[in-house]
Amino acid sequence: MKHDSIAVIDFGGQYAHLIATKVRRAGVLAEIRQPDDPTDMFRGYKGVILSGSPSLSAFGEDSEWNKEVFELDIPILGFCFGHQEIAKYYGGRVEHGGREWGLATLNILVDHPIFKGLEKKETVWMSHFDTVVAIGPDFCEYGYSKLGETGKEHRLAAIGSDKYRRYGFQFHPEVENSVHGDEMIANFVIEICKCNPTWSMEAYLAETVERVRAQVGDKSVFLLASGGVDSTVAAKVFGLALGADRLHLLHVDNGMMRKGESQRVLKMYADLGLDQNLHFIDATDEFLAAIGNETDPEKKRRAIGTTFVEVFDREAKRLGIESHLLGQGTIYPDTIETGGTKRADTIKTHHNRVPIIEKLIKEGKVVEPLAELYKVEVRELGEKLGIPREAIWRHPFPGPGLGVRLLCSNGVTPKDDIASLQAAVGPIAESFGLRAYVLPIKSVGVKADLRSYEHPVVLCGDASFEKLTEVSGNILKEVQGINRCIWNVMGDDPKTVEVVEGYMTRDRLDLLREADQIVMDALRHHHLYDCIWQCPTAMVPLKINGVGRELVIVRPIKSERAMSATAAELPPVVIDEIRRGIEKLPRISGLTLDLTSKPPGTIEWE
């Protein structure tokens, strides 16, 4: 079935993706398009939405894009930057108005289908620098806004022209803070663009099952079954389309999984009735041998990636996958230019580099049943397909697993000038009544889009979470050579810290698995698992004040898509529970919580 669809032009940031998910929620397919896509690409759509932009200004030279889109005879709606572009194109004027940010009341002045079902006053979210100060002929002011606390009036917050079928909102209806923003978007696609709302998960599933059957014919599909959301939902769709007997799954344990993870994944596939051709390989020895005594984070990653390629290629050949099609759980953001994190892209190259997979891709033997879906939609589909909630809502877990959370060292302290770093951080912490200690090891971070490899600082003392993150922010901003701040939550100040030998060994991985399990249990037990985006536990080979040889770091974060993140606060009772668990483990020298935002820290320590 051909669905009516809307093009969303992506001017940067995450706005376009949010808009597209809202359009889809209204039952209409939305696709992301780039600002310089040729006009012909837009012809099949029933309407276009221009997103906002975090960096572009409609005022000046930087708003270069294919404005021929305005010549198309289909409705266009713009938000923020998009709104300003519409105003300008049709004879209006835009000025730098200064930063305006926050909740605002939109006073609606017209009875117009775009506001169908809404009140005359609506709460909306504003975030912009530039402002439309005049509109061209044939345009009307549809509404003005008053900004939250300041009460500052903002004319032309909503504008439109029924003659041209062009509409613009200065605010962002796509963000949750705009209370009835979803309704405004739905009104545009249904009332103005006259789309037939046929897009639904049920319809998608039925069509995808048909598509998979047509593409696979009488062959079978081979899928790498990591246990992650995407591959699990993809597996279930294949099972439904082809029958479990025509689906071959391979699960590889690289030795750096969470405690009991592989067993859980295998059981889940069995519970889903997908275990007729479920293959499992425990390649721990091979992975650990490949990493050996390596301590450099990038070399460790490369060793893991290369071993994966070797193991997978060998196993796939052994299982005869050349006679199958290759199933992949690729999702929509992976297939478009702006989607995915840079890191995620390199990670995927691990899989794409597998020679046997490259061969199948070249031969066009790849089936991707989720390629049009966003993550939230994959989850929705997963729920409909009866996949357990824990599997659908689990935190992201990196391909190299605990390998990027277990720091390694040959026991030699780096020759950096720790004393001068210490001299710089001390006074900043003291000015907040806290103490700070620079650690003689390094972790990976990201500064100005580039990888950094620098020292962490441990903060000691009692303070509110706000204060701790403020000190952390100040230190990270002011002291070159520091990319992380962690907070000591167990025992004395780390006055003497000694780097000890520690490599990627079973023993250390087992200890990290236990620590990670304690943290995950505490989050679940206190119903925090779903409120926290991800919570890596890392371990560093340090003896502190003559005790132990492993410092544990817990990193609870808030994030949307992992591109940026901030530290999440854990209530004292949760920290207590984690502390009591960690204290019982052998070889532990301390417990800390990571306060670092991304940037300058990455989510993972390596």
Rounded Cα distance between 552 and 412, Å, is 20
Known active-site residue 80? yes
Length, in residues, of the chain: 606
For the purposes of burial, counting CB atoms within 10 Å of the CB of 245, is it exposed (0-12), middle (13-18) or buried (19 or more)? exposed
Closest CA to 100 of 175, 151, 143: 151
User: Which tokens belong to 520?
Assistant: 């995950």
**Residue that is written with structure tokens 């609870």 in the block:** 556
Question: Any contact of residue 602 with ligand XMP (CB under 6 A)?
Answer: yes
Do 326 and 366 touch, CB atoms closer than 8 A?
Answer: yes
Do 416 and 482 touch, CB atoms closer than 8 A?
Answer: no
3-state helix, strand, coil in the chain (%, to 5): 35, 25, 40
Q: In angstroms, give the least distance from the CB of 570 to ligand XMP.
A: 18
* Cα dihedral sign, 108-111-112-113: positive
Q: CA-based Rg of the chain, rounded to a whole angstrom?
A: 27
Part in contact with ligand XMP (CB under 6 A); list of ranges 126-134, 157-165, 384-392, 397-405: 397-405
Measure the CA angle with vertex 595, ends 567 and 410; round to 5°: 120
Question: Any contact of residue 398 with ligand XMP (CB under 6 A)?
Answer: yes
Known active-site residue 350? no
Select 187 or 469, whichever has its Cβ closest to ligand XMP: 469
Choose which of 131, 208, 534, 596 interacts with ligand XMP (CB under 6 A). Answer: 534
Question: Any contact of residue 556 with ligand XMP (CB under 6 A)?
Answer: no
User: Which tokens belong to 423?
Assistant: 């001299």
Select 244 or 404, whichever has its Cβ closest to ligand XMP: 404
Q: In angstroms, give the least distance from the CB of 442 to ligand XMP.
A: 15
Select 139 or 312, whichever has its Cβ closest to ligand XMP: 312
Residue 200 phi, psi (nearest 5): -150, 165
Choose which of 156, 184, 562, 568 interacts with ligand XMP (CB under 6 A). Answer: 562
User: Which tokens belong to 602?
Assistant: 């990455």
Rounded Cα distance between 497 and 413, Å, is 10
Question: Any contact of residue 396 with ligand XMP (CB under 6 A)?
Answer: yes
Q: In angstroms, give the least distance from the CB of 396 to ligand XMP.
A: 4
Say which of 174, 377, 550, 577 is annotated catalytic.
174
**Residue that is written with structure tokens 């279930």 in the block:** 236
Known active-site residue 174? yes
User: Which tokens belong to 376?
Assistant: 């939230």
Do 59 and 95 touch, CB atoms closer than 8 A?
Answer: yes
Choose which of 25, 314, 343, 447 interacts with ligand XMP (CB under 6 A). Answer: 343
Choose which of 78, 340, 400, 456 interacts with ligand XMP (CB under 6 A). Answer: 400
CA atoms within 13 A on the CB side of 317: 9
Select 139 or 605, whichever has its Cβ closest to ligand XMP: 605
3-state secondary structure 438-489: ECCCCEEEEECCEEEEEEEEEEECCCCHHHHHHHHHHHHHHCCCEEEEEEEC
Part in contact with ligand XMP (CB under 6 A); list of ranges 119-127, 314-322, 394-402, 505-513: 394-402
Q: Which helix (H) or strand (E) holds 391?
A: helix 389-392
Residue 208's alpha-carbon distances to 92, 225, 373, 510, in angstroms, are: 45, 20, 11, 41
Do 420 and 268 touch, CB atoms closer than 8 A?
Answer: no
Question: Any contact of residue 603 with ligand XMP (CB under 6 A)?
Answer: yes
Size of the site for ligand XMP (CB under 6 A): 15
Question: Any contact of residue 520 with ligand XMP (CB under 6 A)?
Answer: no
Do 431 and 408 touch, CB atoms closer than 8 A?
Answer: no
Rounded Cα distance between 441 and 445, Å, is 13
Choose which of 114, 135, 354, 404 interacts with ligand XMP (CB under 6 A). Answer: 404
Say which of 172, 324, 350, 455 is annotated catalytic.
172
Question: Any contact of residue 341 with ligand XMP (CB under 6 A)?
Answer: yes
Rounded Cα distance between 577 and 545, Å, is 23
Q: In angstroms, give the least distance from the CB of 410 to ligand XMP.
A: 23
Q: In angstroms, give the least distance from the CB of 596 to ligand XMP.
A: 10
Q: In angstroms, give the least distance from the CB of 287 to ligand XMP.
A: 14
User: Which tokens belong to 431?
Assistant: 């000015």
**Residue that is written with structure tokens 């990201």 in the block:** 446
Q: In angstroms, give the least distance from the CB of 97 to ligand XMP.
A: 35
Choose which of 147, 319, 347, 361 interacts with ligand XMP (CB under 6 A). Answer: 347
Q: In angstroms, give the least distance from the CB of 187 to ligand XMP.
A: 36
Q: In angstroms, give the least distance from the CB of 344 to ligand XMP.
A: 6
Part in contact with ligand XMP (CB under 6 A); list of ranges 99-107, 131-139, 181-189, 391-399: 391-399
Choose which of 297, 382, 399, 440 interacts with ligand XMP (CB under 6 A). Answer: 399
Q: In angstroms, give the least distance from the CB of 507 to ligand XMP.
A: 23
Part in contact with ligand XMP (CB under 6 A); list of ranges 44-52, 336-344, 362-370, 502-510: 336-344
Part in contact with ligand XMP (CB under 6 A); list of ranges 167-175, 182-190, 214-222, 597-605: 597-605
Select 223 or 603, whichever has its Cβ closest to ligand XMP: 603
For the purposes of burial, counting CB atoms within 10 Å of the CB of 420, is it exposed (0-12), middle (13-18) or buried (19 or more)? exposed
Part in contact with ligand XMP (CB under 6 A); list of ranges 190-198, 200-208, 266-274, 340-348: 340-348
Residue 7 phi, psi (nearest 5): -95, 135
Part in contact with ligand XMP (CB under 6 A); list of ranges 90-98, 267-275, 398-406, 450-458: 398-406
Question: Any contact of residue 598 with ligand XMP (CB under 6 A)?
Answer: yes
Say which of 80, 195, 408, 460 is annotated catalytic.
80
Select 236 or 301, whichever has its Cβ closest to ligand XMP: 301
**Residue that is written with structure tokens 């071959």 in the block:** 248
Residues lying near ligand XMP in the complex (CB under 6 A) are found at 341, 343-344, 347, 396, 398-400, 404, 534, 562, 598, 602-604
User: Which residues form the catalytic set?
Assistant: 80, 172, 174
